[in-house]
Chains A and B, each alone.
Chain A
C-alpha cells in the first residue's frame, strides 16, 4: 500500500494508470482502487479478487468452484495453476490449485476443482464452506506445465486423484481448438465413485474416438495390486508410450514410480511432471533446535531450542530490526521461508511457509530459514 506498484517493464503506462496516479492524490494514503472496491471488488488494481459464481459437487469430497476474476486477470494456458487466498477461521491461507477449465471458455470465468484431503483444513474448508457470492483474493496464472502451441504432440496423460485437473483443462482446450491428437489417458482413483470429473471424462471418451481413457481403481475389485502403475501395465494399456510426450500429475508415490519407469526407458526428456509443494514442514519429534538460515543475508548458523532467533542472528554478526525484545512491538517481524520455529511464550510451533515470525521470542525447532 505504501509504494505504488511499478509499471511492468516494456509497456507504456495505460491511460487508466496515468489517471489513477492523479486520482490517488484524492485517495492517499490509500489508492483509488480501495474506494472502487467498495462499489465492485472485481474492479480493484491493488489486489486481484475473484467472485465465486457457482459451486458444484463433483464427488462426495470434491467440489468445483467457478470463479469470475477481476479486471486485471490475464488468460491462462491449459495446465497452469493459480494461487488462491482463502479465509478460514479468520486467517488468510494461500493455496495453489490447477485451473480445470480450458482457456477457450467464453464467459471470462475459470474453474478450480478441489478435493478435500486428509488433514487438509483448507481443502475441507473450500469443499464445505465456500459459497456463491464470496470474494477470494487470487494471483495470476503461473506454471510451465502446459502443452506446446507449435508442434503437434501425441500426449499421454498419467494422473491420479485431483491430479486430473491440468489434464482435463488441456483436453478441453485441445477439443475447443479442434486439434485433439491421438491421446491416451491413464487415471487412477480409489473407487469409481471417487473419480473427480468422472462423468465428464467418460463423456469425452465416448464422443472423441481419438481419446483413449483408462480408469483404474486402486481399491475396487479383486486385482487391487494390478491397478497400481507399473511398466507392464503401461505396456498393456498404451503400447506406443515410448513415442509419446507424457504429462503426469498426482501424489508423490505415483510420480516417483512414473519417473523411475521413464528413466529406465531413457525417456525422461519426454516426461513432464507437475507437483504441488507441501506448504507445511514436518515437525521434528525432538525439536531441539537446528540449522538456521538467514536467506537475505546469506548467513548459515546454528540455533538451539531456547535462544531467540534474534540473538542467534546477532551472534552471527547481523543486526536485524528489533525493538522491545519481549514480543510486544512487532518491529522484528519477518517471514518464515521454510522449516519450523517455536514461540517461546506459548510453545506454539510455526511450520507453515509464509508465517510471520517474531524473532525476539521465537527459537528454532529443527532447521529453519528466515527472510532476513
Chain B
C-alpha cells in the first residue's frame, strides 16, 4: 500500500523496512563505540588548541621581522610570510573548532563518554552565536524539520530563495549579493539566525519580547570581539610602545596588523563553513517538502526525508575532518548524534541501502555541489526556475 506523499516509488511497508535497516546500522555503531573514539576526539581537541595558540604566537613572532628592526632578515616578504603562516594556522584551528569539534559536541555526539569536559550542555564554542541558542535553531528546528517549508528556517535562512517551491518576491533579486555577504559574514549571520528576529522583521513581535535573548547574543559577540580584536592586538601594541623608542614603528600599526591577521583567520573560517554548509541541502537534486506532505510522519519516513534532503561531498580524509564530517551530510542527518568519526564507515552501507531501495543518494565533488548551489541561487533570484510544488502529485520532484 502506498499512502505517503514522498517522491519515491516505495510502499509504506518498504519505507518502514528501510527505517528498520537504518535503525540496525545505528544500534550497531552505537554499541561499538569505545576507547578509539575517545582517543580520536581528545586528539582533535588537543591538536586544535595547540594550533590556535601556536598560530597566535607565530603572528606575534612575525612582528620581529618588520623592516624597521633593521636586521638582515627584516623585510616585508619575510614578515608577511611568517604572519601568513600564523594566520593560516589560526584559521585552520578555528575551522577545526567550529566544524569537527563544537558542531559535533553540541549535537551530543560525545555525550555518551560522560566526560564532564565534553558535554553538549556545557560546551561553548569559538563563534558569536551562543551555543545553547544555536542548539535550539539547529538541533531542534533544522534537524527535526529538515527542508520543510515554513518550518525549517535553514531553507533560505529567511533571505534567500533556494527552491522554486518558495514563492518569488522582488527582494530575491538581490540574493546573489546576500549570498556573497553571508559567505563573508557567516559568523555574524549564524549569531543572528533566530526565529524571533525573523518574526520581528515581519512585524510579528516587539523588540522587548526578545530583549533578554539579544543581550545574551550581545555578550557572546562582545567576548569574541574582545578576544580577536582587542586582547591579542592590544597585548602586542603594549609591548610595542617601549620598543617604538628604539625601532621606528607605530604601536598602532602593530595593533592593526594583529587584528587584521585575526580578521583574516575569522574570514577563512566564515568562507569555509559557508561553502560546506551550503553544500548540505542546496545543491541540485536536494528535495524540499511541504507541511502537508509530512503529516503523520513515522521515524522511517523521517529517515527518508533526511536522505532526500541532504547532499554529500566527496573528498579525502583531511577534507572530511576539516568539514567536520559534514561532507557526510546524509549520514549526519540520519544519525545526528553518532560520533562524527564513524560517518565514514557508515556511508558505504547507507549508500548500498539507498541503491537497494532505489532512493537517490546525492553525493558528488565539492565543485559540482557548490557550483550547482551557486547556479541555483542565481537562477532562483528571478521568478520561476521550476515547478512550484503541488502536494497532490506523487511523482518525484526535484528542485
Contacts and interface: CB of A to CB of B under 8 A. Distances in A.
Contacts of A91: 38, 112-114
Contacts of A330: 107-108, 111, 120-121, 135, 139, 337
A372 to B, nearest CB: 13
Interface in B104-138: 107-108, 111-117, 120-126, 131, 135-136
Interface of B: prevailing SS: helix
B302 interface: yes
Interface residues of B, number: 48
Interface string B152-191: 0000000000000000000000000000000000000000
Given A27-B227, A356-B114, 14 more contacts: A1-B122, A25-B231, A29-B124, A29-B126, A46-B117, A90-B38, A323-B136, A324-B139, A324-B144, A326-B144, A330-B107, A330-B337, A331-B135, A346-B30
Contact of B302 (A92, A323, A326): A326
B112 A34 contact: no
Contacts of A228: none
Interface of A: prevailing SS: loop
Contacts of B390: none
B391 to A, nearest CB: 23
Contacts of B302: 326
B113 A90 contact: yes
B325 to A, nearest CB: 17
B392 to A, nearest CB: 27
A87 interface: yes
Given A2-B122, A328-B143, A26 B117 contact: no
Nearest to A328: B336
Given A1-B123, A29-B124, A90-B34, A329 B299 contact: no
A345 B135 CA distance: 23
A38 B46 contact: yes
B35 A90 contact: yes
A324 B143 contact: yes
A91 B115 CA distance: 7
A93 B113 CA distance: 9
Contacts of A27: 227
Contacts of A328: 139, 143-144, 336-337
Interface of B: 23, 27, 30, 33-38, 46, 49-50, 53, 107-108, 111-117, 120-126, 131, 135-136, 139-140, 143-144, 223-224, 226-227, 230-232, 235, 299, 302, 336-337
Given A87-B38, A328-B337, A329-B144, A47 B108 contact: no
A16 interface: no
A354 interface: yes
A333 interface: yes
B282 to A, nearest CB: 22
Contacts of B108: 330, 333
Contacts of B135: 329-331
A46 B111 CA distance: 19
Contact of B111 (A34, A324, A326, A356): A356
Contact of A323 (B49, B111, B140): B140
A35 interface: yes
Nearest to B339: A90
A38 B46 CA distance: 7
A35 B235 CA distance: 18
B328 to A, nearest CB: 16
